[in-house]
Amino acid sequence: MKLRYKRLGLILGAVALVAVAIGLVLNAFQSNIVFFYTPTQIVNGEVPKETSFRIGGMVLEGSLKRQDDGLTVQFAVTDTVNVVPVTYTGILPDLFKEGKGVVAQGALDSQGRFVASNVLAKHDENYMPPEAAEALKRAKVTQSPAVQPDGSNS
């Protein structure tokens, strides 16, 4: 009889622990999952305000501008259909280049500009970050007027 109680205690203890762990996981998931949006989704206003998310696409040719402090940069990310302006303060990764894939994490400011806290580019010349590839793919599916050469979208 006593052994059975002891076992019951052990099992209850384990169950309680797992429950706590699940609680922790759910809680952490709720606040720490970062969603991904394409430039088109952002332009269409599908992104909730004041949340951190990831944007993916190509760095628009000719869009990279550096401010005088040398550390604040502006560039535009496109999925070939829509364009989102991005601003970032910090040092860009080695493989960040115009016309190449990029993924950035951050949030929109009040003017609809994406303020990046983190810019990711991976270590391979021909590598396309999966999010960037996805953005281009989705844009292709809903093909509509292409981006104007000057970077503005109609």
Partner 1 sequence: MIPEIGHFALVLALFVAIVQGVMPIAGATLLKPIWIGLAIPAARLQFVLVALSMICLAYTFAVKDYSVLYVASNSNSQLPLHYRVAALWGGHEGSLLLWAFILNVWTLAVTFFSKGLPALTRARIIGVMGLISIGFLLFLLTVSNPFERLIPAALDGRDLNPLLQDPGMVFHPPMLYMGYVGFSVAFAFAIAALLSGELDATWARWSRPWTILAWLFLTIGIMAGSNWAYYELGWGGWWFWDAVENASFMPWLVGTALLHSLAVTEKRGTFKAWTVLLAITAFSLSLLGTFLVRSGVLTSVHAFATDPERGLFILAFLVIVIGGSLALFAWRASSIVRGGGFSALSRESFLLSNNVLLVVAAASVMLGTLYPLVLDTLNLGKISVGPPYFDAVFAPLMAPAVFLMGIGPLARWKKAELPELVVRLRWAFVVSLLVAGLLPLLLGRWTPMIGLGIFLAFWVFASSLQSLWLRLRLAGVPLIERFKRLTFAWWGMWLAHVGIGVFILGVTIVKGFETETAVRMHPGDVAHLSGYDFVFDGVTKVQGPNYTATQGNFRVNKNERELATIHPQKRLYTVQNMPMTEAGISAGIWSDQYASLGEPLGDGSWSVRIYYKPMVNWIWGGCLLMAIGGGLALSDKRYRIKRKGHQVDGVAA
Tell me which residues in 108-147 interact with partner 1 (CB under 8 A). 122-125, 127, 129-131, 134
138, 109 in Cβ contact below 8 A? no
Told to check if 99 binds partner 1 by CB under 8 A, we report no
Q: What is the dihedral of CA 46, 104, 123, 95, to 10 degrees?
A: 120
Tell me the residue ranges of DSSP E strands in 60-147: 65-66, 72-78, 83-89, 101-108, 114-120
Told to check if 66 binds partner 1 by CB under 8 A, we report yes
- At closest approach, how far in Å is the CB of 81 from partner 1? 18
Smaller CB distance to partner 1: residue 17 or 146?
17
Binding footprint of partner 1, residue count (CB under 8 A): 40
- At closest approach, how far in Å is the CB of 111 from partner 1? 24
Do β-strands 53-59 and 101-108 pair in parallel, antiparallel, or remain unpaired? antiparallel
Told to check if 15 binds partner 1 by CB under 8 A, we report no
Told to check if 4 binds partner 1 by CB under 8 A, we report no
The DSSP symbol for 89 reads E
- At closest approach, how far in Å is the CB of 126 from partner 1? 9
Told to check if 150 binds partner 1 by CB under 8 A, we report no
Told to check if 98 binds partner 1 by CB under 8 A, we report no
Centroid of chain to Cα 146: 23
The DSSP symbol for 39 reads H
Tallying the residues shown for the chain, one arrives at 154
Phi, psi (deg, nearest 5) at residue 140: -65, -40
Name the residue with tokens 């996805």: 134
In the complex, which residues of this chain contact partner 1 (CB under 8 A)?
3, 6, 9-10, 13-14, 17-18, 21, 24-25, 27-29, 31-36, 54, 66, 69-71, 89-92, 94-95, 122-125, 127, 129-131, 134
